Structure 1
Amino acid sequence: MPDLKSPDMADRFATIVANSLDTPAKTQDLAHRAYQSRTKFHRLFRDVIEETPAAMRRRLLLERAAYHLAHTGSSVTDVALDAGFGSLEAFSRAFRKSFRISPSRYRRMRDPHFHLPASNKIHFLAPGSPTKGGGDMDLFDRFAGNDSWHTRRLLEYASALTDELLDRPMPTVVELLPWRESNKTLRQLFENIIFTKEVWTAALSGTPMDMNGPAPSQRSPQAMMQRLEKTDAELHRIFADIRNRSAWDDTFVDALCEPAETFTFGGVFAHIMTFNAHRRLMALDALRQLGVETQGFGDPMEYEESVAPWNQPVALKMS
């Protein structure tokens, strides 16, 4: 019975797909190169790589195409043919679906990110990149990931507290933005962490938002956890798209402000991370003062050590 966690097997299967990019290849062909039946190869590959052979091959071809668009002078048609598409129209549809932008516009962007989402972290790597390790993770992932991870931990600690403790006035209060919020209790601190994300998610996506906040029933630790998961999913999707387009300095109009104001995407991300980091540390101190046994200090390095989602099995360098 093969060890499904074996890095060697992951390397071997991924290399088979990587070496097939320059020739037409179906799953049957890849299985033959692995000395497996088509059915067994498909099953083992999906268990080890967490992606089907065909899906991984298609994604790697699109990642390679994106790199060539951004860093070579090849025509879009030549890039499309190199990626295995029979027509420019078919390539453009697939590229737009994956990267949410047309190939021609992608080419005009400055130093774009060319990796598509993949839980296995196996990607096309640019020439000169290391063939192993965590080149796929950047500061956006660390800041956003740590903020979400630490907030969830704090809410889990708070879920064991009574309403009286959640609403007990804190002995030390630091009002960061006194014209916008109040941080007099632990519940208010958590509410401001999550409501900040909800407001900016609405502003960035252009959706309406009740600025009075949610009903009291939505302010328990359990309910706030559900709100956090929902707003994080959309906020991370928006910021990941901005990161992938290298658009941090682009601006947008926040229609929720009165009057409307213009902000940069990077400024908003830095704003959320800065003020929520302070709120999280205040919440951590408040939990300890209430006698809750907590671990850690909210340090992003704790997130790296505990989660490290970028330290996945392999990454392949392909020309």
Structure 2
Amino acid sequence: MNKADGQDTADRLSAIVANSLDTQTKTQDLARQAYQSRTQFHRLFRTVVEETPGAMRRRLLLERAAYQLAHTGMSVTDVALDANYGSLEAFTRAFRKAFRTSPSIYRRMRDAHFHLPASNKIHFFAPGSPTKGGKDMDLFDRFAGNDSWHTRRLLEYAGTLTEEQLDQPLRTVVELLPWRESNKTLRQLLENIIFTKEVWTAALSGAEMDMNGPPKSQRSPQAMLQRLEKTDAELHRILGDIRNRSSWDDTFVDALCEPAETFTYGGVFAHIMTFNAHRRLMALDALRQLGVQTEGFGDPMEYEESVAPWSQQVAIKMP
């Protein structure tokens, strides 16, 4: 079999599996569509597609489930059933193993990337997406996504603590910033991460902003998580548009400063990422000081590994 014939065969067999997601299909059913025995189909599929039919189908169903969680209003139970899992518990176990987080937390993250690692680079693409040449994750996606992803994890960890623990003075405080910012408790550290994003979102969008910060009722971990999701949606929209226009060197006037100052978009993005990284690492250390069993070290590669969409993708569009 020459290279061209092999690719044609791989595309044909992959399409049979990809088009089966909405049915209760077994391998022998797929083999019949390929006019082969189950054994022949399985052997040829594994040779040319570099994955078994069953494994590819399960992966595509999980990728579709991740897309549905992030982009539709389907309940987690309905998503589980749509992915051909007989129970919510079984779906949750499979999803957590694949994406390293639960379906409910993934939904709150609303991450745009839902592809799992695959050597054949065949993935589920959302309706309306192009069938080839999937968009790679660039440095903006990595930095912005990592900052949001790790901040959400910090807030979820903080949600397990008492009010007294959140406001307990930290044993170690490292103040590196040239402006006055209190980072003496975990709550203050987390609040400064969120407030920084809110201030710059307001500056970039020309909105008004109370520079005294939100009331105490909006500084619980749960409330800060809601604020993060709201400001992230707008901030990523603004900066994503700037990225798409290659306008990082363009300037804007920040009217929230006294007096007003001019900044570049790229400088602001780098500023947010740099100082929020400092705050996040301090918050992670604070959580450990308070006895919370945390995972990871705040490394951007942890986020990259959790979404893994960066390899060039040849996608099959699902009906």
TM exceeds 0.5? yes
The equivalent of 1:299 in structure 2 is 299
Task: Provide the C-alpha distance between the structure 2 equivalents of 1:209 and 1:136, rounded to a whole number of angstroms.
Answer: 35
CA offset at residue 311 of structure 1? 5.8
The equivalent of 2:136 in structure 1 is 136
Task: Provide the C-alpha distance between the structure 2 equivalents of 1:304 and 1:121, rounded to a whole number of angstroms.
Answer: 25
1:112-131 alignment runs, 5 A limit: 119=126, 122-123=129-130
1:204-219 alignment runs, 5 A limit: 204-219=204-219
Counterpart check, 1:189 vs 2:195: no
Task: Provide the C-alpha distance between the structure 1 equivalents of 2:253 and 2:188, rounded to a whole number of angstroms.
Answer: 28
Task: Provide the C-alpha distance between the structure 2 equivalents of 1:293 and 1:249, rounded to a whole number of angstroms.
Answer: 42
CA contact (8 A) 2:131 2:314 kept: no
Could you list the per-position Cα deviations for residues 123-145 of structure 1 after superposition, in whole angstroms to 9, with x for gaps in the alignment? 487xxxxx5xx652100000000
Task: Provide the C-alpha distance between the structure 1 equivalents of 2:218 and 2:312, rounded to a whole number of angstroms.
Answer: 36
CA offset at residue 252 of structure 1? 0.1
CA offset at residue 179 of structure 1? 2.4
Given the superposition, is the C-alpha separation of residues 119 and 165 from structure 1 closer, same or farther in structure 2, using an over 3 Å criterion?
A: farther
Amino acid at match of 2:215: A
CA contact (8 A) 2:182 2:188 kept: yes
Given the superposition, is the C-alpha separation of residues 157 and 121 from structure 1 closer, same or farther in structure 2, using an over 3 Å criterion?
A: farther
The equivalent of 1:22 in structure 2 is none
- For 1:306, what is the secondary structure of its paired residue? helix
1:306-317 alignment runs, 5 A limit: 306-310=306-310, 314-315=314-315
Could you list the per-position Cα deviations for residues 123-179 of structure 1 after superposition, in whole angstroms to 9, with x for gaps in the alignment? 487xxxxx5xx6521000000000000000011000010111111111111123252
- Segments of 5+ residues of structure 2 without an aligned counterpart are 1-11, 20-63, 69-124
CA contact (8 A) 1:10 1:314 kept: no
Indicate which of 5, 15, 21 corresponds to 1:9.
15
Task: Provide the C-alpha distance between the structure 1 equivalents of 2:150 and 2:245, rounded to a whole number of angstroms.
Answer: 27
Task: Provide the C-alpha distance between the structure 2 equivalents of 1:189 and 1:283, rounded to a whole number of angstroms.
Answer: 6
Task: Provide the C-alpha distance between the structure 2 equivalents of 1:238 and 1:294, rounded to a whole number of angstroms.
Answer: 32
- For 1:239, what is the secondary structure of its paired residue? helix
CA contact (8 A) 2:201 2:231 kept: yes
Given the superposition, is the C-alpha separation of residues 312 and 149 from structure 1 closer, same or farther in structure 2, using an over 3 Å criterion?
A: farther
The equivalent of 2:159 in structure 1 is 159
Given the superposition, is the C-alpha separation of residues 135 and 163 from structure 1 closer, same or farther in structure 2, using an over 3 Å criterion?
A: same
Task: Provide the C-alpha distance between the structure 1 equivalents of 2:128 and 2:278, rounded to a whole number of angstroms.
Answer: 31
Task: Provide the C-alpha distance between the structure 1 equivalents of 2:172 and 2:18, rounded to a whole number of angstroms.
Answer: 57
Number of residue-to-residue matches in the alignment:
206
CA offset at residue 10 of structure 1? 8.7
The equivalent of 1:285 in structure 2 is 285
CA contact (8 A) 1:281 1:298 kept: yes
Task: Provide the C-alpha distance between the structure 1 equivalents of 2:185 and 2:275, rounded to a whole number of angstroms.
Answer: 17
**TM-score, scaled relative to structure 1:** 0.59
CA contact (8 A) 1:122 1:315 kept: no
Counting aligned pairs with the same residue, the percent is: 78
Task: Provide the C-alpha distance between the structure 2 equivalents of 1:239 and 1:272, rounded to a whole number of angstroms.
Answer: 12
1:54-69 alignment runs, 5 A limit: none
Could you list the per-position Cα deviations for residues 204-239 of structure 1 after superposition, in whole angstroms to 9, with x for gaps in the alignment? 000000000000000000000000000000000000
RMSD: 3.0
The equivalent of 1:247 in structure 2 is 247
CA contact (8 A) 1:121 1:315 kept: no
CA contact (8 A) 1:197 1:235 kept: yes
The equivalent of 1:229 in structure 2 is 229
- For 2:140, what is the secondary structure of its paired residue? helix
Given the superposition, is the C-alpha separation of residues 250 and 293 from structure 1 closer, same or farther in structure 2, using an over 3 Å criterion?
A: same
CA contact (8 A) 1:183 1:189 kept: yes
- For 1:262, what is the secondary structure of its paired residue? strand
Farther off after superposition, 196-205 or 168-177: 168-177
Task: Provide the C-alpha distance between the structure 1 equivalents of 2:16 and 2:303, rounded to a whole number of angstroms.
Answer: 26
Amino acid at match of 1:302: E
Task: Provide the C-alpha distance between the structure 2 equivalents of 1:12 and 1:140, rounded to a whole number of angstroms.
Answer: 31
Task: Provide the C-alpha distance between the structure 2 equivalents of 1:11 and 1:191, rounded to a whole number of angstroms.
Answer: 47
Given the superposition, is the C-alpha separation of residues 7 and 234 from structure 1 closer, same or farther in structure 2, using an over 3 Å criterion?
A: farther
Given the superposition, is the C-alpha separation of residues 234 and 176 from structure 1 closer, same or farther in structure 2, using an over 3 Å criterion?
A: same
The equivalent of 2:108 in structure 1 is none
1:46-57 alignment runs, 5 A limit: none
**TM-score, scaled relative to structure 2:** 0.59
1:238-277 alignment runs, 5 A limit: 238-277=238-277
CA contact (8 A) 1:121 1:136 kept: no
The equivalent of 1:111 in structure 2 is none
